[in-house]
């Protein structure tokens, strides 16, 4: 009953105060000749899945492509740290040399034939200052220790490179089923207690690990010490430091 009341209140709030449109996040993505073929390849690779996250991942990648293009011009080298199923690299490929780092091959990414390096994010096999843009899309919350990864990303980033980060802001999910395990109210609890609860629900694999859902932009900044916030992108009506859609960092 409580969940129904919360959902009704949220829908009523959104009916009165809908989310704002963002000139960059809601821009119609530019199209490349390869896009239609890439979209078909992605749909074929994901098969009959009904997972909305997987279904939308390629088109989402084209939107993040617009964000990268906004901040970086000319010939672009993009590194996706934690590339998942390869949709983001595929979407980036028409305009950039895109490569990802993951600890394991994803079968969809392998079928798509994206550029992928199997390595730990703390020790990436790239030369210093190799990339113009780095991506952490729904990834940073899974890292046990962000500090060595931030240092390694700074090493392989060119001077003034951008780092695009997306991660669920905790305040946005406090009363909703959390974005990883769909457990309502989970994010009201301390991180250590969250972990005990999700393990009891059967989420015990290393790929289920969620270290931290961040409260604020300053908290994120303290984890990414080699980078500074350039811009916070948000469609929300609340303060951006607590409710955001993406954060754009620059290498210091």
Long-range contacts of the stretch 201-209 (C-beta < 8 A, 24+): 208/180, 208/181, 209/142, 209/144
Helix (H, G, I), strand (E, B) or coil at 103: coil
Q: Is residue 118 one of the residues assigned to a domain?
A: yes
Q: Is the pLDDT of residue 26 over 80?
A: yes
For the chain, how many structural domains are there in total?
A: 1
The CATH number of the domain where 92 resides is what? 3.40.50.150
**Which pLDDT belongs to residue 142?**
92
Q: Round to whole Å and give the CA distance between 103 and 145.
A: 15
Q: Is residue 176 one of the residues assigned to a domain?
A: no
Q: What average pLDDT does range 150-172 have in this prediction?
A: 96
pLDDT band at 15 (very low <50, low <70, confident <90, very high): low
- What number of other Cβ atoms are within 10 A of residue 175's Cβ? 16
* DSSP assignment string, 145-165: -HHHHHHHHHHHEEEEEEEEE
Q: Is residue 241 one of the residues assigned to a domain?
A: yes
Q: Is residue 14 one of the residues assigned to a domain?
A: no
Pick from 95, 110, 99, 93: which is nearest to 45 by CA?
110
Q: Is residue 7 one of the residues assigned to a domain?
A: no
Q: Is residue 60 one of the residues assigned to a domain?
A: yes
Which residues share a beta bridge with 251?
A: 227
Residue numbers of the domain that contains 119: 21-169+214-251
Q: Is residue 196 one of the residues assigned to a domain?
A: no
**For 5-9, 121-125, 247-251, which range has the lowest pLDDT when averaged over its residues?**
5-9
CA distances in angstroms from 211 to 1, 11, 207, listed in the order given: 30, 30, 11
Predicted model pTM: 0.90
Phi-psi region of 82 (alpha: psi -120 to 50; beta: other; left: phi over 0): left
Q: Is residue 189 one of the residues assigned to a domain?
A: no
């Amino acid at each position: 009953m409580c969940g129904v009341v919360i959902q009704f209140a949220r829908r009523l709030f959104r009916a009165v105060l809908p989310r704002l449109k963002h000139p960059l996040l809601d821009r119609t993505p530019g199209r490349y000749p390869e896009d239609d073929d890439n979209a078909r390849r992605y749909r074929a690779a994901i098969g009959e899945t009904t997972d909305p996250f997987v279904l939308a991942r390629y088109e989402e990648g084209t939107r993040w492509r617009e964000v990268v293009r906004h901040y970086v011009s000319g010939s672009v080298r993009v590194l996706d740290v934690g590339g998942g199923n390869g949709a983001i690299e595929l979407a980036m490929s028409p305009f950039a040399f895109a490569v990802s780092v993951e600890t394991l091959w994803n079968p969809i990414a392998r079928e798509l034939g994206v550029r992928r390096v199997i390595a730990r994010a703390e020790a990436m096999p790239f030369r210093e200052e190799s990339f113009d843009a780095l991506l952490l899309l729904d990834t940073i919350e899974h890292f046990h220790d962000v500090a060595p990864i931030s240092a390694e990303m700074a090493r392989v980033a060119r001077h003034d490179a951008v780092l695009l980060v997306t991660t669920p802001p905790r305040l946005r999910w406090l009363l909703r089923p959390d974005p990883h395990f769909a457990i309502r109210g989970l994010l009201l609890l301390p991180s250590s207690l969250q972990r005990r609860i999700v393990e009891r629900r059967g989420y015990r694999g290393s790929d289920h690990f969620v270290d931290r859902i961040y409260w604020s932009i300053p908290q994120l900044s303290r984890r990414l010490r080699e980078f500074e916030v350039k811009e916070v992108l948000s469609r929300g009506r609340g303060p951006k430091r607590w409710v955001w859609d993406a954060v754009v960092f620059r290498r210091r």
